[in-house]
């Protein structure tokens, strides 16, 4: 892709920032988060010098960089960046039910949880869940994911740990009684996938691999 446009991927320029952002997103999808961080830090530096702080592209890059920070264990850096993004989106640019604003709040809440800031995580998730329950269908993946993540942080500390498990009533009552995913009915499959996604995002993946 870089060759096609005659660009050196190591030499960033403002003109091709969307191209670099796309490359970083691809690296994240491939699990190469450290390389993504290196690239996104350069993108963010250029955008901070050339774009307004509330520019959608700049905020999107910062949000993605924060997610990559979280993936490589730099939780404090992720929190600092996400707090900036959330503050700007809340104060200046987006309605409270805008998907990007909700996505940033959700990601920040999950990152709070990773940093053992459970109260902050719950407080923010309660806001996200309240809004998503008002605007999204009951079976919408984002609504279900928010509800399940909130339930985990509200109840998780009182549940028996299983290798840092993501423990949910649905798992205990449903998935543990099923030998194969194909045995689940359509509605249960959808909820299973939603819980799987949520568990990945809050770092509770080890136990899931045993289900």
Does residue 6 sit within a domain?
no
Which CATH number fits the domain that encloses residue 42? 1.25.40.10
Residue 7 lies in a domain: no
- At residue 30, the 3 state secondary structure works out as coil
Q: What is the pLDDT of residues 104-151, one digit of tens each?
A: 999 999 999 888 899 999 999 999 999 999 999 998 989 998 998 898
Residue 31's region, left for phi above 0, alpha for psi from -120 to 50, else beta, is left
Number of domains comprising the chain = 2
180 is in which domain, residue-wise? 165-206
How far apart are alpha carbons 114 and 201 in whole angstroms?
A: 10
Asked whether residue 65 is assigned to any structural domain, the reply reads yes
Q: Could you say which DSSP state residue 116 is in?
A: T
* pLDDT of amino acid 176: 43
pLDDT bin (cut points 50, 70, 90) of residue 153 is confident
Asked if the model's pLDDT at residue 9 lies above 70, the reply is no
Final residue of a structural domain among 155, 181, 198: 155
pLDDT at 186: 55
> Does residue 5 lie within any of the structural domains?
no
Same domain, 33 and 136: yes
Report the alpha-carbon angle 137-67-21, nearest 5: 100
CB neighbourhood size of 69 (10 A): 24
Mean pLDDT for 30-45 is: 92
Based on the fold, state whether residues 127 and 199 are members of the same structural domain. Answer: no
Residue 8, domain member (yes or no): no
């Amino acid at each position: 892709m870089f060759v096609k446009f005659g660009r050196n991927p190591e030499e960033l320029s403002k003109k091709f920032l969307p191209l670099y952002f796309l490359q970083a997103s691809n690296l994240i999808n491939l699990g190469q988060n450290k390389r993504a961080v290196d690239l996104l830090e350069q993108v963010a530096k250029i955008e901070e010098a050339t774009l307004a702080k509330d520019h959608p592209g700049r905020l999107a890059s910062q949000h993605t960089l924060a997610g990559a920070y979280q993936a490589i264990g730099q939780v404090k850096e992720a929190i600092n960046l996400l707090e900036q993004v959330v503050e700007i989106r809340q104060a200046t640019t987006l309605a409270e039910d805008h998907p990007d604003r909700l996505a940033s709040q959700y990601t920040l809440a999950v990152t709070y949880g990773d940093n053992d800031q459970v109260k902050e995580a719950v407080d923010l998730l309660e806001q996200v869940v309240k809004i998503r329950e008002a605007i999204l269908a009951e079976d919408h993946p984002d609504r279900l994911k928010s509800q399940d993540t909130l339930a985990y942080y509200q109840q998780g500390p009182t549940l028996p740990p299983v290798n840092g498990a993501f423990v949910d009533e649905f798992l205990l009552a449903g998935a543990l009684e099923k030998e194969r995913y194909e045995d689940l009915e359509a509605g249960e499959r959808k909820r299973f996938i939603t819980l799987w996604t949520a568990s990945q995002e809050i770092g509770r993946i080890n136990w899931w691999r045993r289900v």
